Amino acid sequence: MALRKLVAGNWKMHGLSADLEEIRTIAEASRAYPTVDVALCVPAILIERAARAVPGFAIGGQDVHQAEKGAHTGCTSALMLLDSGASLTIVGHSERREAQRENDGEVKAKAESALGVGLTVILCVGESLEVRERGAAVATVIAQLDASIPHESTEEAELAVAYEPIWAIGTGKIPTVGEIAEMHSAIREQLVHRYGAAGNQVRILYGGSVKASNAGEIFSIADVNGALVGGASLKAADFIPIVAAAALV
């Protein structure tokens, strides 16, 4: 059976109280596409207000600390995200892997911590342009995936993997259909290798310059089970057509 598509927006460091109205518009418009799971991952400080503004709509975080609690100034635990009203979180986004130097082991611990409290996890992997150009993209991403994904996937545990080529994020460049197909198929194979049949239930999202004009083609690729959307998720006018494209496949 085909997996339900998941279209998640990553608002990054965007979003003030004034933007709650846009979140309401997105949540309301998403209801026209009940076959698609739609979510917005907003700054941690906005989660509680966003979740209150749109009851029943999935609001998520963009990162989580792996520890339950403790001396970790400025960090947010999985339980804190849940307590604020989040139902999911991104982990291992390339911007954090680069700027905060997060490694695969930390990303894995973050994913396990979030799954442990019942949050859905969107775990990001992806190669740099240099790696793509020297023909090592698949091997690099699979090694990254293998080192970052949790030990076990249980039925309760909701894990999604987002393939986000770093060179495609915010650049307007996207891989070819063949390149996306090759990577998603390799990720699926690795998930089945790790989790057995349960690996077929893990959604694999594509992320990197997804917009209304390319979403339909991307969603029609085998093993593309949704998208992680940055810039085009900030406005309902840009984001909802992507959700609509997911509903058509």
Q: How many residues bind ligand PEP (CB under 6 A)?
A: 13
**Any contact of residue 210 with ligand PEP (CB under 6 A)?**
yes
Sketch the per residue contact string, 211 through 230, with ligand PEP: x for CB under 6 A, - otherwise: -----------------xxx
Of the residues 22, 65, 93, 106, only one is catalytic, namely 93
| Amino acid (one-letter) located at 108 | K
Sketch the per residue contact string, 163 through 202, with ligand PEP: x for CB under 6 A, - otherwise: -x----xx--------------------------------
**104-116 helix and 137-148 helix, angle to the nearest 10 degrees:** 50
**Any contact of residue 9 with ligand PEP (CB under 6 A)?**
no
Instruction: Rank residues 105 and 170 by Cβ distance to ligand PEP and give the closer one.
Output: 170
**Any contact of residue 39 with ligand PEP (CB under 6 A)?**
no
* H-run or E-run covering 52: helix 44-53
Which 3-state string (H, E, C) describes 116-130?
HCCCEEEEEECCCHH
Sketch the per residue contact string, 230 through 249, with ligand PEP: x for CB under 6 A, - otherwise: xxx-----------------
**Any contact of residue 10 with ligand PEP (CB under 6 A)?**
yes
Is 164 catalytic? The answer is yes
Which 3-state string (H, E, C) describes 134-145?
CCCHHHHHHHHH
Q: Are 99 and 13 contacting, i.e. CB atoms less than 8 angstroms apart?
A: no
Is 65 catalytic? The answer is no
Q: Tell me the C-alpha to C-alpha distance, in Å, between residue 115 and each of 92, 127, 160, 173, 247.
A: 14, 25, 11, 32, 27
| Amino acid (one-letter) located at 214 | N
> Measured from the CB of residue 13, what is the shortest distance to ligand PEP in angstroms?
11
> Measured from the CB of residue 230, what is the shortest distance to ligand PEP in angstroms?
2
* H-run or E-run covering 91: strand 88-91
Residues labelled as active-site residues: 93, 164
Site residues, ligand PEP (CB under 6 A): 10, 164, 169-170, 207-210, 228-232
